[in-house]
Amino acid sequence: MKYITKYKSPNYNSRNSSKIQLIIIHYTALKNTLDAVSYLCNKEKKVSSHYLISQNGTVYNLVKDKFRAWHAGQGFWQEITDINSISIGIELDYNPNGKNNKFSFKMIYSLKKLILKLQKNYEINKNSILAHSDIAPFRKIDPGKNFPWQELSTSKLILNLKKLKKVEIKIMEKWFYVHNLKSKKQKIILALSLIGYDTREVYKNSKLYNKLITAYRIRYLNYEDKIKNKSIYNDLIKHLFNYMLTKK
């Protein structure tokens, strides 16, 4: 896979031997690719990513994989708070309020090729391809509600959640019962926590709880269920069961 390497960001430091475990997908929210390159390579901005993918599918390598790019900011996943040290950051030339407000076919094609290469190079689990909003649900929304996660699922790059059988649902409900979890909210929060989300403050803060639920809905529910404002409970139980089966 070919990259444009003539632009280099100065905004990086050492991973300190941390193993690459995650791929984080962002959008730039800028006018175009040139603006994004300028921003990500500006020393004063103190922001960067390893890769940037343009609307026409061109892939820019701005920071070498071996270095710690500054793309995630304050985040959390599976008890880890230094997300930059264990992740690869991919920015997409997309702005929901701009002319570049489509995830083009060429962009997504290049993204899938890049993810596949990174998965092979670093043995990254299908559970570990994340949205910026997954690791920072209380302050970030990218890559947003229109990002085509189904494209990645169809290409078998991310976990494809299979429907649960009745016996499997009973297994999960029994597991919740054994752990004295009675309300749906308790079960939802525990499931989100086990998958990796930051649930540290949501028990006592309803605003943060709602933000977390919104982030999960945008990421995992299909379009029709998002519109209907469907409960995430059944989907989350399915997700947790599938996650436990595929966790390394």
What is the spatial distance between Cα 134 and Cα 144, in angstroms, rounded to a whole number?
11
**91 included as an active-site residue:** yes
60-69, 82-91, 174-183: segment of lowest average pLDDT: 174-183
Q: If you ran DSSP here, which 8-state letter would residue 232 be given?
A: S
- Residue 53: which of 106, 132, 122 has the closest Cα? 106
At residue 153, the pLDDT reads 93
Residue 192 has pLDDT above 90, yes or no: yes
Across the chain, mean pLDDT equals 93
23-37, 69-83, 173-187, 195-209: segment of lowest average pLDDT: 173-187
Backbone φ, ψ for residue 101 (5° rounding): -100, 30
Domain ranges in the chain with CATH number 3.40.80.10: 12-154
18-22, 167-171, 204-208, 229-233: segment of lowest average pLDDT: 229-233
Residue 101 has pLDDT above 70, yes or no: yes
Contact 193, 216 (CB under 8 A): no
pLDDT band at residue 182 under the 50/70/90 scheme: confident
Contact 69, 83 (CB under 8 A): no
**How many Cβ atoms are within 10 Å of 148's Cβ, its own excluded?**
14
Residue 214 has pLDDT above 70, yes or no: yes
Contact 96, 144 (CB under 8 A): yes
At residue 224, the pLDDT reads 56
pLDDT band at residue 160 under the 50/70/90 scheme: confident
67, β-bridge pairs: 14
DSSP letter string over 54-98? -TT--EEE-S-TTEEES-S-S--BTTB--GGGGEEEEEE---TTS
What is the mean pLDDT of the segment spanning 4-20?
97
pLDDT band at residue 118 under the 50/70/90 scheme: very high
User: Of residues 44, 91, 151, 224, which has the active-site annotation?
Assistant: 91
What is the mean pLDDT of the segment spanning 227-243?
81
The CATH superfamily assigned to 12-154 is: Peptidoglycan recognition protein-like (3.40.80.10)
Contact 87, 72 (CB under 8 A): yes
Token pair of 113 as six digits:
């090729």
